């Protein structure tokens, strides 16, 4: 549901407009706000949202969490993050089927990884767009994946305890009704859609990067804060 990932193999085949979304971002975010509402209605004190797809999506999710809490006054404590932001092992910070994610999968689902199945003639490279070994000789491994995943679990525990410490119950609290949730959603979309990272096509993103390199302007409109909207 994000328009701007780069697919060089499409361009090599003559595709000029590399739109890739199968669903629009507003559909995804609308589903998320109802998931938050469900967590809230069932009496949970903390909700932690994690996305394995990133590049700006995580910022949009944080914005959505902020707005839900501002509009409802819910005591629920929310935290949104990309999975790579939770890594606290050496300098690993996520990738695209690179050494970090491949190692994670080798630790969690080793039966799904076979490093012998490289493709010598693929346009995207022998390893789906990445090359092993790295220049320093590193290769993905289950042992490395265990360390990366363990650091993420440890960080999640720290976040959980911090959020629980901040939780303050509200007597007779009820999550918003269906109609109220719809109102919250439509206001959120109207106010923030132009700032969503996921609303931009690859072509728009590349153009913004060119402008940034030339003028040092931010490659996307900067969210001005809720006070700018009177929220």
User: Where is the domain boundary, 141, 167, 193?
Assistant: 167
User: Where is the domain boundary, 120, 139, 167?
Assistant: 167
In a domain, 115, yes or no: yes
- 117: CB partners within 8 A, 6+ apart: none
Structural domain range at position 203: 1-75+175-231
Q: Which residue has the tokens 């990309």?
A: 82
Tens digit of pLDDT for each residue in 108-149? 999 999 888 877 776 666 766 677 788 788 899 999 999 999
Q: Are residues 16 and 32 in the same domain?
A: yes
Q: Are residues 162 and 180 in the same domain?
A: no
Q: How far apart are CA 198 and CA 181, in angstroms?
A: 22
Question: What's the whole-model pTM score?
Answer: 0.83
Q: Are residues 161 and 231 in the same domain?
A: no
Q: Are residues 35 and 97 in the same domain?
A: no
In a domain, 160, yes or no: yes
Tens digit of pLDDT for each residue in 63-93? 999 999 999 999 999 999 999 999 999 999 8
Q: Is the omega angle on the peptide bond into residue 39 within 30 degrees of 0, that is, cis?
A: no
Tens digit of pLDDT for each residue in 165-209? 999 999 999 999 999 999 999 999 999 998 887 766 666 767 776
In a domain, 82, yes or no: no
Number of domains into which the chain is organized: 2
Tens digit of pLDDT for each residue in 32-73? 999 999 999 999 999 999 998 877 789 899 999 999 999 999
Q: Are residues 179 and 125 in the same domain?
A: no
In a domain, 99, yes or no: yes
Q: Are residues 159 and 99 in the same domain?
A: yes
In a domain, 81, yes or no: no
């Amino acid at each position: 549901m994000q328009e701007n990932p780069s697919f060089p193999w499409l361009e090599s085949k003559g595709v000029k407009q590399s739109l890739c979304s199968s669903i629009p971002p507003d559909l995804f975010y609308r589903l998320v706000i109802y998931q938050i509402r469900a967590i809230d209605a069932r009496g949970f004190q903390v909700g932690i949202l994690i996305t394995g797809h990133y590049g700006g999506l995580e910022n949009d999710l944080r914005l959505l969490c902020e707005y839900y809490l501002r509009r409802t006054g819910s005591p629920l404590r929310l935290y949104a993050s990309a999975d790579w932001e939770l890594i606290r092992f050496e300098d690993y910070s996520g990738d695209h089927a690179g050494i970090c994610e491949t190692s994670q999968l080798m630790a969690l689902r080793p039966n799904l990884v076979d490093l012998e199945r490289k493709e010598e003639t693929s346009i995207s490279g022998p390893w789906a767009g990445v090359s092993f070994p790295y220049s320093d000789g590193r290769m993905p491994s289950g042992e490395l994946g265990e360390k990366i995943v363990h650091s993420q679990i440890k960080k999640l525990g720290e976040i959980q305890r911090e959020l629980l410490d901040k939780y303050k119950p509200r007597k007779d609290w009820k999550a918003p009704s269906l109609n109220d949730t719809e109102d919250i959603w439509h206001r959120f979309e109207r106010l923030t859609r132009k700032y969503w990272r996921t609303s931009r096509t690859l072509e728009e993103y590349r153009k913004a990067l060119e402008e940034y390199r030339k003028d040092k302007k931010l490659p996307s409109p900067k969210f001005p804060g809720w006070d700018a909207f009177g929220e």
